[in-house]
Amino acid sequence: MMSGRLSWLILLTWSVLAFGAFFFSPDIESIHLQGILESPSSEFLLGQDDLGRSILPRLVYGAQISLMVAISVTLASSCIGIFIGALSAWVGGPLDHFMVRLIDSFMAFPGILLAIALAGLMGPGISNLVIALSVVGWVGFARLTRAQVLSLKSREHVYAARAMGVGDSKIIVRHLLPLIAAPLLIEATFSIANIVIAEAGLSFLGIGIQPPEASWGNMIRDGSRYLLVAPHMVLIPGLALASLVYSINVIGDQLRDRLDQKSY
């Protein structure tokens, strides 16, 4: 219980900081040469980096980037995956066989490697990063939606709706998707955590968010060169990343325990 409350508190804190950064843009590029690599102090609560910039506003901006990319990718991936999975299961036949082979092909190939390849081909930037991660993120939603729709399409209320002349699209939207909303919500929760890690990883490799924009991934990369003399440059964004991912995963486990049922 305490772990769950702490997770909600951590997620709420980062969400408020990230949302507030839209209205109060943090000064992430202000340079103080006299404070290069300085440890946390009363003036700079989280210390300064190799250029003398305050780490605190950059950390807040990094939270905004991470959550914005994670939510954008999850929304795009869920829309694509739910559409493909529902269409495949409902139509069946050759289309379903093709979609199953396509999903299996994506799952057989490590998603992060495909994301790295796509991000490298399209170039760095937030929009390209969202596209690259969305291309590999829809598979889980499609597989889950297909399995759920296959188990529900033969229910009595679906036959009744078809007998009354209700169109296929309306049956899927009104009679099937509401019944699988719970597992899809759980999938979306874990997807957000995975995307946060993926965004940080791609930014760490230099093919994600580019300087002067701040990302937890490129903050860790920059700090790794000064790990022995200024460990706070790595530890602070690393702990921030770990706390956010931990809180989202714990919340996802809670949602699964409460919403995931054996029958619908």
Strand partners, 31: 53
| Selection from 194, 189, 252 nearest residue 66 by Cα | 194
Alpha-carbon span 127 to 132, nearest angstrom: 9
Tell me which DSSP letter residue 178 carries: G
On whether residue 264 sits in a domain, the answer given is: no
Q: Looking at the predicted structure, is the pLDDT value of residue 4 above 60?
A: yes
Q: Looking at the predicted structure, is the pLDDT value of residue 262 above 60?
A: no
Please report, as a single letter, which amino acid is at residue 52: G
Q: For 105-123, what is each residue's pLDDT tens digit?
A: 888 877 788 888 888 888 8
Q: For 126-164, what is each residue's pLDDT tens digit?
A: 888 899 999 989 999 999 999 999 888 888 888 788 888
Tokens describing residue 46: 């989280």
On whether residue 20 sits in a domain, the answer given is: yes
* Range with lowest mean pLDDT among 105-109, 248-252, 256-260: 256-260
Alpha-carbon span 216 to 218, nearest angstrom: 6
Say what the pLDDT of residue 76 is: 95
Say what the pLDDT of residue 231 is: 93
Helix boundaries (H) for the chain: 2-23, 55-91, 93-108, 111-122, 126-152, 156-163, 168-171, 181-205, 216-224, 232-259
Q: Looking at the predicted structure, is the pLDDT value of residue 220 above 60?
A: yes
Q: Looking at the predicted structure, is the pLDDT value of residue 264 above 50?
A: no
Q: For 15-51, what is each residue's pLDDT tens digit?
A: 998 888 777 666 777 888 888 888 888 888 898 998 8
Say what the pLDDT of residue 263 is: 43
Say what the pLDDT of residue 84 is: 93
Tokens describing residue 234: 């790595």
Tell me, what CATH number does 78's domain have? 1.10.3720.10
Q: For 153-209, what is each residue's pLDDT tens digit?
A: 888 888 788 888 888 788 888 888 888 888 899 999 999 999 999 999 999 988 888
On whether residue 193 sits in a domain, the answer given is: yes
Q: Looking at the predicted structure, is the pLDDT value of residue 256 above 90?
A: no
The parent domain of residue 69 ranges over: 2-259
Alpha-carbon span 129 to 68, nearest angstrom: 11
Say what the pLDDT of residue 199 is: 92
On whether residue 138 sits in a domain, the answer given is: yes
pTM, entire model: 0.87
Alpha-carbon span 40 to 214, nearest angstrom: 19
Q: Looking at the predicted structure, is the pLDDT value of residue 1 above 70?
A: no
| Residue length of the chain | 264
State the total domains in the chain: 1
Say what the pLDDT of residue 28 is: 77
Q: For 237-249, what is each residue's pLDDT tens digit?
A: 999 999 999 999 9
Tell me which DSSP letter residue 40 carries: P
| Selection from 220, 255, 196 nearest residue 64 by Cα | 196
Please report, as a single letter, which amino acid is at residue 153: K
* Burial bucket for residue 228 (CB in 10 Å: 0-12, 13-18, 19+): exposed
Cis ω before 124 (30° cut-off from 0): no
Indicate the Cα dihedral angle 162, 166, 169, 173, nearest 10°.
-90
